[in-house]
Structure 1
Amino acid sequence: MSSVREWPETERPRERLIKYGAEALSDAQLLAIVLRTGSNGKSVMDTAIELLQNFGGLRGLEEASIAELKKFKGLGTAKIAQIRASFELGKRALSQKANQQVFSSASTVYDCFFPKLEGLKKEVFITLLLDTKLKLIKEVKVSEGTLNQSLIHPREVFKEAVKESAYAVILVHNHPSGDPSPSEQDIEITKKLKKASEILEIPILDHVIIGRERYFSMKEKGIL
């Protein structure tokens, strides 16, 4: 396979990005820009394509451990660092975007938090503390692991909300299975927290469960 430098300029990933914008490039082309050079006699495009195929796409590549990445021939410390750094930058950019959002719908919650929660192997329960304009004051991780009522106690959920004088909160957690449908435990916990919120006068606007490429809103479904 010829070097990318020998390709017509209109076909080179970096030149295409500058001319047409990043959104016009395929996953493999974007990854090729991150990798910069090929390996084992292969062009950077071939390396990028092979990586995506090996790990099942971008999601699999992001979830791969450093040990798993090291097993890929031609992927040294520098390239692994470049890949991990690019994913982390994307997450941080979305996190900063969340600080500017108005959380008036479950879809907004999903758009801002699925990159952080979707695909995790453990359940993570977080509380979004909102001001009167429904903008984020603070994001609080309440628990990590299988949800149960002993972990998701009203005291832990609302402690920071009271401290920060939050106007309202939104509950968010993920389902590692990818299916966002609520369990009986999810519904019981939500109803218990709703009673506490009424006493504290800090309303729960929604409880959004994030799955793989979709979400479940307890408000939209009339549970909350």
Structure 2
Amino acid sequence: MSYKIKNSNIIVNRNKKYSITTVRDREKNDRPREKMLRLGAETLSSPELLAIILNTGTKKEEVINMADRILKEYGKNSIINEKNPNNLEKEFGLPIVKSCQIVACFELGKRFFKKEGLETTTIRNAKQAFDHLKDMGKLNKEHFRGLYLNSRYKLIHSEIISMGTLDTGIIHPREVFRPALEYSSSAIIIAHNHPSGILKASSEDLEVNKKLNEAGRILGIEILDHLIISKNKFVSLL
């Protein structure tokens, strides 16, 4: 028995109709925008706030479910630091307009954050680095991230370098060190997650680690640490 999509909200088979829930199907007071007006933005969950930014879902996915999926699969810290809308479009099948809305929203927030001088995160050891990156342990896909520090160990930039299996052919030193040069960083902490929960470094992990440390010595930008992260646990390769 085959299914066929007849319109934006109904999936039909031979005998039955299955409705796809939309925001309009919710009680009015439970809709994100109305809830914000009634109770204030601080009462909304992260998916509800992101749903307001996205405004609408797609033919196949209700907007709050879409927002929740994006935050769970991408990670809150990761999406905050995503700068390329094309990555979101490719990873989640989002329309490019919605991908641009997400990146623009978080970029604007970061600019205000920097303007007020609120960036006070200091990272001096592996535990502090893990505390900043531990959301990676919840991700279902492997992410490779970089934390960029100034000479006083203040975090000045965070970037998703790649997504997918760690591979020496994918992780090129220029992708890791480009932000360091752009932001005049003195040192870098790199990290990737193991969705399997196994913290043992693979041969590819060790090869990437060696390659990046050699590049760092040539450029005079130190790799302070390389963490492997799983849920609530981490191990350092240095």
Q: TM-score, normalised by structure 1?
A: 0.55
Contact 1:119-1:178 within 8 A present in 2 as well: no
Measure the CA separation in 2 of the matches of 1:99 and 1:199. 29
Measure the CA separation in 2 of the matches of 1:81 and 1:152. 29
Letter of the 1:186 counterpart: D
Residue 166 (structure 2) aligns with: 147
Residue 157 in structure 1 maps to residue 176 in structure 2: yes
Measure the CA separation in 1 of the matches of 2:174 and 2:65. 41
Letter of the 1:217 counterpart: S
Contact 1:179-1:212 within 8 A present in 2 as well: no
Distance 1:134 1:180, change over 3 A: same
Letter of the 2:203 counterpart: E
Residue 168 (structure 1) aligns with: 187
Cα deviation for residue 119 of structure 1 reads 2.1
SS at match of 1:156: helix
Residue 99 (structure 2) aligns with: none
Residue 102 in structure 1 maps to residue 119 in structure 2: no
Q: TM-score, normalised by structure 2?
A: 0.52
Cα deviation for residue 107 of structure 1 reads 0.8
Residue 207 in structure 1 maps to residue 226 in structure 2: yes
Residue 135 (structure 1) aligns with: 154
SS at match of 2:166: coil
Measure the CA separation in 2 of the matches of 1:208 and 1:191. 13
Gap regions ≥5 residues in structure 2: 1-29, 31-56, 81-109
Letter of the 2:150 counterpart: D
Residue 193 (structure 1) aligns with: 212
Residue 111 in structure 1 maps to residue 128 in structure 2: no
SS at match of 1:111: helix
Cα deviation for residue 100 of structure 1 reads 2.4
Distance 1:181 1:199, change over 3 A: same
Measure the CA separation in 1 of the matches of 2:165 and 2:153. 29
Contact 1:172-1:210 within 8 A present in 2 as well: yes
After superposition, give the CA deviation of every residue in 1:61-99 in whole Å (9 maximum; x if it has no partner). xxxxx9xxx9xxxxxx89969988998xx946xx79994
Distance 1:122 1:197, change over 3 A: same
Distance 1:178 1:130, change over 3 A: same
After superposition, give the CA deviation of every residue in 1:84-132 in whole Å (9 maximum; x if it has no partner). 8998xx946xx799942211111111111112x1121111001111001
Structure 1 runs, 4 residues or longer, greater than 6 Å off:
77-87, 95-98
Measure the CA separation in 2 of the matches of 1:144 and 1:191. 20
